[in-house]
């Protein structure tokens, strides 16, 4: 089932990449909509309008037409309104299956688009953890432990046009390769999408022709989205992030 879901997402992402390339060569009157859903995505995309409250979302869909008004009180009580909507913010909405005037999930896309940081801890290399290595390698003294057991800061930066940049450890220098500790590798995410309320992060690379190929995807649920806090729940863990309130964040939006 998981493999089938991955193949569906992989095909959808590849389709969107090709579609975006084709649209760029279209007529000058074509309006590019960066929130175009993936195939099979039931999420509604649009703008928050004047009149939004803690219980109501006034929503102008990108597909056109008049604004819709969604009851979001139950979603807010269930902590499913992620990022407080403000007029002009780009919003993703999952409509309630039984009541079309209510929303089950609201994601403020503009609130997501910034640099989110998290810290990773080093761990002793396996050769030092092996029971048989006790006689060969002495325990790290406190001075060396303080020197090497330092956390590092990684980051995910969400941008427009479904671009995400990863900052972390991929290649190790010779000095780090000889260190008694190692840091986890960060995945090189390059694309992000909303798919039926889930956050899809994709690792990609460009082939010799310059086409972007999706290598793998990870699916996460946004558990919390506040001005300075983001929490993502992956299949195997829950990861918290924090933001830095400075002018550099404006470039991420």
- With cut-offs at 50, 70 and 90, classify the pLDDT of residue 227: very high
pLDDT at 32: 37
- Going by the DSSP 8-state scheme, the letter that residue 149 receives in this structure is -
| Cβ atoms of 234 and 220 closer than 8 Å | yes
- With cut-offs at 50, 70 and 90, classify the pLDDT of residue 37: confident
- Per-residue pLDDT at 30 exceeds 70: no
- With cut-offs at 50, 70 and 90, classify the pLDDT of residue 29: very low
Q: Look at 239 and 145; give whichever has higher pLDDT.
A: 239
User: What is the mean pLDDT of the segment spanning 55-60?
Assistant: 97
Report the C-alpha dihedral over residues 21, 194, 162, 13, rounded to 10 degrees: -40
Average pLDDT over the chain reads: 80
Q: What are phi and psi of 87, to 5 degrees?
A: -55, 130
What is the CB neighbour count within 10 angstroms for residue 103? Answer: 26
Q: Look at 127 and 207; give whichever has higher pLDDT.
A: 207
* pTM metric for this prediction: 0.76
Considering only CA atoms, which of 15, 39, 31 is closest in space to residue 211? 15
| Cβ atoms of 171 and 69 closer than 8 Å | no
Cα–Cα dist 29/121, whole Å: 51
Q: Look at 4 and 241; give whichever has higher pLDDT.
A: 241
Cα–Cα dist 18/209, whole Å: 13
- Of all residues in the chain, the percent with pLDDT exceeding 70 is 69
Query: From residue 199, how far is each of 38, 48, 154, 166 by CA, in Å?
Result: 12, 20, 19, 15
Question: Picking from 32-46, 74-88, 150-164, 206-220, which range would have the lowest pLDDT averaged per residue?
Answer: 32-46
pLDDT in tens, 126-177: 654 445 544 444 566 666 666 667 888 999 999 999 999 998 865 565 566 6
When computed from its CA atoms, the radius of gyration of the chain, rounded to whole angstroms, is 22
| Cβ atoms of 170 and 186 closer than 8 Å | yes
| Cβ atoms of 156 and 165 closer than 8 Å | yes
3-state class of 48 per DSSP?
A: strand
pLDDT at 17: 43
Q: Look at 38 and 8; give whichever has higher pLDDT.
A: 38
Q: What are phi and psi of 119, to 5 degrees?
A: -105, 145
User: What is the mean pLDDT of the segment spanning 166-192?
Assistant: 76
User: What is the mean pLDDT of the segment spanning 67-72?
Assistant: 96
- Per-residue pLDDT at 59 exceeds 70: yes
Report the C-alpha dihedral over residues 42, 46, 51, 52, rounded to 10 degrees: 60
List of E strands, 75-141: 81-82, 90-95, 103-108, 115-120, 123-124
């Amino acid at each position: 089932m998981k493999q089938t879901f991955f193949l569906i997402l992989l095909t959808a992402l590849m389709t969107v990449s090709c579609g975006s390339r084709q649209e760029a060569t279209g007529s000058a009157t074509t309006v590019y909509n960066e929130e175009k859903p993936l195939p099979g995505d039931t999420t509604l995309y649009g703008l928050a309008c004047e009149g939004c409250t803690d219980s109501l979302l006034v929503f102008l869909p990108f597909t056109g037409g008049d604004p819709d008004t969604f009851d979001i009180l139950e979603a807010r009580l269930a902590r499913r309104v992620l990022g407080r909507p403000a007029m002009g913010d780009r919003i993703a909405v999952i409509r309630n299956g039984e009541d079309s005037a209510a929303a089950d999930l609201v994601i403020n896309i503009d609130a997501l688009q910034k640099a989110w940081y998290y810290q990773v801890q080093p761990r002793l290399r396996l050769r030092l953890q092996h029971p048989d290595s006790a006689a060969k390698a002495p325990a790290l003294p406190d001075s060396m432990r303080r020197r090497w057991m330092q956390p590092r800061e990684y980051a995910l930066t969400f941008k427009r046009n479904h671009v995400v940049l990863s900052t972390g450890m991929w290649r190790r220098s010779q000095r780090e390769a000889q260190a008694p500790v190692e840091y986890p590798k960060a995945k090189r995410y390059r694309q992000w999408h909303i798919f039926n309320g889930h956050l899809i992060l994709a690792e990609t690379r460009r082939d010799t022709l310059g086409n972007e190929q999706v290598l793998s995807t990870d699916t996460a649920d946004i558990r919390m989205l506040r001005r300075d806090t983001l929490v993502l729940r992956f299949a195997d863990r829950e990861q918290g992030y924090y933001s830095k309130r400075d002018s550099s964040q404006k470039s991420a939006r």
